[in-house]
Structure 1
Amino acid sequence: MSLSWTQVLLVENDADDAGLIRAALSASPGNGSFNVNWVRCLADALERLEQEAVDVVLLDLVLPDGQGIDVFDRIFRAAPDALILVLTADSDEETARRAVQHGAHDYLPKEHADAYWLPRALRYVTDRKAAEQVLRTAEETLFEEKERSRVMLESIGDAVLATDLQGNVTYLNAMAEDLTGWSRGEALGQPLAQVFNIIDGTTREAAVNPALRAIEQDRTVGLAMDCVLIRRDGVEAVIEDSAAPIHDRHGKVSGAVIVFHDSSQSRAVTERMAYMAQHDYLTGLPNRLLLMERLSRMITLADRHHKQLALLFLDLNDFKEINDSLGHIVGDQLLQSVAKRLTECVRASDTVSRQGGDEFVILLAEIEQPQDAVRVAETLHTALAEPHLIDGHEIHIGLSIGISVYPDDGNSVTTLLQKADMAMFHAKSGSQDKQRRFRIGMSSRAGLHSRSPRQ
Structure 2
Amino acid sequence: MAKARILLVEDEGIVALEIKNRLLKMGYEIAGTISRGEDAYEVAKRTNPDLILMDIKLKGQVDGIEAAVRLRGELDIPVIYLTAYSSDELRDRALKTCPSGYIIKPFKETELNILIKLALQKHVKEKKMIEMADNLNDKVQLSRADLAESDKRLKEQLEQGKQRELVIERNYEIQKIISKVLRASLEPITLKEHLERTLEMMLSVSWLALEKKGSIFLTVEAEEELEMVAQQGLGGHLIEVCARVPFGYCLCGRAASTRKLVFSDCIDGQHDVRFDAMQPHGHYCVPIISEDKVLGVVNMYVRHGHTRDERTDDFLHAIADTLAGIIERRRVQRRLRHMALYDNLTGIPNRTMFFDRLAQSISLAKRNNRMLALFYLDLDKFKRINDTLGHDAGDELLKETARRLTSCLRESDTAARMGGDEFTVILTEVTSEKDAAAVAGKIIETLQAPVELKGYLCPIGTSIGISMYPTSATEAGALIKKADMAMYAAKTGGRGNYQFYSGEEVTFSLLVDYAVKFVMFNGGQWDHNKWLDLLLDIQKRGFELSDTDITSLGLVLESLKPLRNSAIGNMNAMSLLNLSATVFIQNNGGVWNPRQWMELRHDLAAGGINLNDETAYMVSCFLESLRELYHSFTRAEA
Instruction: Give the structure with the higher percent strand.
Output: 1
TM-score w.r.t. length of structure 1: 0.44
Instruction: Give the structure with the higher percent helix.
Output: 2
Greater relative contact order (Cα < 8 A, sep 6+)? 1
